């Protein structure tokens, strides 16, 4: 009898939750749902029929107010037009709906159209390891609300969520409606190729429970958020937001406020708490990048272009905003064009914490590094903000700064201390400082500065440390915004080590060579010559483990593409994740279910990392192993392992 029971249980574990169902507008809930010809009619009915591990195909069309609550695990929902796969996007493709050239259509995808913008959530997803692809929602107060772990959102569209046409004071409570496009509240979420257009609150947001209980390991890649509303009351406030989130990456994204004439919105933001996060290879228009609150520390913003659109009347446009105590963050390789402010430090009573301007939101931004910053057509290059100005901005450092066409280098309306400027190139800058406080703290430092067509260098005298010059130079092509220079005569003179180490590389990643050029660009800089060394893994960790997936996080010593190959026997790699299309120094990927089949429970998998740098050097790491959880086993805390693998990478030279 015991043997028979074991056979039954064994058989059930491999047959349960393996069904594929279909939904079409021409279907019927009286069908069995197992083919397109026998499809169900409604999403709610199909969802109730599904079990853990099932797949649902949904044909395009407007399904109206048919709003499911997905609480099953390991399920996959895939929209299609004519045949499954015809709406799928590859990693890096971006959203299928091109908002900038195509009108909204509720028949392009399978679409949920809610009937109440103030109360209804279009789709709630509480299950773990849920994948939703090629789907669209509109007209609710929430678009997609993910609360489970390890979800994958791919090619989702969200349009007109919340009361986006009502003025302030509209809505059921008499207050302005605050809506959210796509929100994630579990761990290890992935969203890619998705677009949000017009919400009244947050576009794409990742949230933790508290500063001491953040969520981890999210990825947003090739996503876009737009708002075309003309007032702050019904336009998007936070476009892509990490709120009490650690160790997450936002890459290749674009956020844009098109018509708002109020103050600049929050474009790429980390707020309340967050560490180890990266925003990279992205663009903003009319909105800021932002680090906000004292627990926002140890994050990186790099390779970002900000078009403030200030001359078009877009309020304060975009800026680098460091506020309310944010500290020890790195802003690197960032270009700002047509902005009211370039780099802004501020402190105000945000209201997010009781008791006024409490410790969690106190400070004007401290100990942050800004490296390779290019400011073109800005009113004030650096702004110590007038807005409440409740404290001091302390000990921030700015390396390799190029400023062209600015009314002033510094607008000082807030106390400041210990600000350090190293390796600065100024062109057409009218004055050093203005504002309500027209002096800088005496411990301000300017070291290695070259000035052209600007105020007299004597203005630096109280703060000059080294080498303030007026050497002649010219830019390569101002018409095309190419602010590299055509001379190597501006020698910054110091050894690029110690405190000057951040100045050792220019905006384009070139190693600076003697004579070092002032500003963000090294004269005649080019890609490394003769590089024959593959990237080296610096650190590696397993962020999370489930019954059917595990999530890996690894960093390398230079930008590289990456993927993971894996299998159930040592040295035998049956599957691999997709190769990333950008050269990153930090990588996070989910093995199983992300871009390859789900894994088996209680099974040991052996894997290697593959890395490839920009000059074609590539190789595989040593082999590692990870065992998935047994059915019902609780998820261990993350990360579960951390290893320093420097020097263990199997290097392969580029073949010429």
In the chain, which residues have pLDDT < 70?
A: 1-17, 166-176, 231-233, 260-264, 312-316, 354-356, 435-438, 487-495, 514-515, 524-531, 593-596, 632-656
pTM equals 0.84
pLDDT value of position 94: 93
pLDDT value of position 309: 83
The domain spans of the chain are 20-257, 269-485, 537-643
- Report the half-sphere exposure of 273 (CA within 13 A, side-chain side): 16
- CA 296, distance to chain mean position in Å, is 15
pLDDT value of position 641: 40
DSSP 320-333: EEEETT-BS-EEEE
Question: How far, CA to CA in Å, does 70 sit from each of 47, 50, 127?
Answer: 7, 9, 6
- Picking from 241, 206, 223, the residue whose alpha carbon sits closest to that of residue 91 is 223
**b/e code 115-146 from CB counts within 10 Å (16+ = b):** eebeeebbbbbbbbbbbbbbbbbbbbbbbbbb
* Architecture label for domain 537-643: Sandwich (2.60)
pLDDT value of position 473: 82
Length of the chain: 656
Helix, coil or strand: residue 153? strand
The C-alpha angle with vertex 354 and arms to 348 and 355, in degrees rounded to 5, equals: 75
Q: Tell me, which fold does domain 20-257 have in CATH?
A: Pectate Lyase C-like (2.160.20)
Beta bridge partners of 621: none
């Amino acid at each position: 009898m015991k043997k028979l029971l074991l056979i039954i249980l064994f058989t059930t574990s491999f047959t349960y939750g393996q069904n594929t169902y279909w939904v079409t507008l021409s279907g019927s809930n009286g069908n069995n749902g197992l083919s397109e010809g026998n499809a169900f009619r409604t999403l709610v009915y199909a969802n109730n029929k599904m079990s853990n591990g099932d797949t649902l195909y949904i044909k395009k069309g407007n399904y109206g107010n048919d709003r499911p609550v997905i609480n099953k695990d390991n399920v996959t929902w895939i929209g299609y037009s004519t045949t499954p796969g015809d709406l799928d996007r590859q990693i890096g493709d971006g959203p299928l709906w091109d908002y900038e050239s195509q009108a909204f259509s509720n028949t392009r995808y399978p679409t949920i159209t809610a009937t109440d913008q103030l109360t209804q959530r279009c789709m709630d997803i509480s299950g773990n390891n849920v994948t939703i692809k090629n789907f669209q929602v509109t007209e609710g107060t929430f678009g997609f609300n993910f609360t489970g772990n390890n979800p994958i959102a791919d090619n989702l569209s969200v349009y007109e969520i919340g009361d986006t046409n009502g003025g302030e004071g509209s809505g059921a409570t008499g207050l302005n409606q605050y809506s959210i496009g796509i929100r994630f509240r579990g761990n290890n979420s992935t969203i890619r190729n998705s677009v949000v257009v017009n919400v009244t609150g947050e576009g794409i947001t990742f949230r933790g429970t508290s500063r001491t209980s953040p969520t981890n390991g999210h990825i947003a890649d090739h996503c876009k958020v737009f708002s075309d509303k003309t007032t702050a009351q019904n336009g998007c406030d936070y476009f892509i937001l990490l709120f009490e989130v650690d160790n997450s990456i936002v890459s290749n994204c674009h956020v844009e406020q098109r018509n708002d004439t109020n103050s600049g919105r929050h474009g790429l933001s980390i707020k309340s708490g967050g560490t180890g996060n990266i925003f990279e290879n992205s663009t903003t228009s009319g909105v800021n990048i932002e680090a906000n609150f004292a627990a926002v520390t140890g994050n990186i913003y790099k390779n970002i272009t900000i078009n403030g659109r200030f001359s078009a009347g877009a309020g304060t446009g975009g800026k680098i905003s460091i506020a309310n105590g944010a500290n020890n963050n790195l802003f690197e390789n960032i270009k700002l064009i047509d902005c009211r402010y370039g780099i802004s430090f501020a402190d105000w009573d945000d209201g997010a914490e009781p008791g006024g301007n409490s410790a969690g939101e106190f400070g004007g931004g401290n100990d942050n590094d800004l490296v390779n910053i290019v400011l073109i057509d800005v009113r004030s290059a650096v702004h110590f903000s007038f807005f409440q100005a409740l404290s001091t901005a302390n000990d921030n450092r700015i390396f390799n700064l190029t400023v062209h066409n600015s009314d002033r280098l510094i607008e000082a309306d807030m106390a400041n201390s210990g600000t350090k400027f190293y390796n600065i190139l100024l062109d057409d800058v009218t004055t050093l400082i203005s504002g309500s406080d027209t002096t800088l703290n005496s411990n301000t430092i300017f070291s290695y500065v070259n000035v052209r067509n600007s105020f007299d260098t004597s203005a630096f005298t109280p703060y000059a440390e080294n080498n303030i010059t007026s050497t002649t130079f010219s830019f390569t092509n101002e018409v095309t915004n190419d602010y590299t220079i055509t001379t190597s005569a501006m020698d910054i003179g110091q050894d690029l080590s110690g405190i000057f180490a951040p100045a050792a590389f220019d905006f384009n990643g070139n190693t600076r060579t003697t004579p070092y050029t002032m500003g963000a660009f090294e004269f005649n800089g080019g890609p490394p010559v003769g590089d024959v060394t593959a990237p080296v893994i610096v650190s590696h960790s397993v962020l999370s483990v489930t019954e059917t997936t595990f999530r890996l996080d690894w960093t390398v010593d230079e930008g590289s593409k990456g993927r993971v190959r894996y299998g159930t026997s040592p040295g035998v790699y049956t599957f691999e994740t997709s190769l990333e299309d950008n050269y990153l120094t930090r990588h996070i990927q989910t093995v199983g279910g992300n871009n390859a089949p789900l894994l088996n429970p209680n099974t040991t998998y052996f894997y290697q990392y593959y890395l490839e740098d920009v000059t074609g050097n590539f190789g595989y790491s040593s082999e590692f192993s990870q065992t998935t959880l047994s059915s019902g086993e609780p998820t261990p805390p993350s990360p579960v392992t951390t290893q320093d693998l420097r020097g263990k990478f199997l290097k392969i030279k580029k073949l010429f």
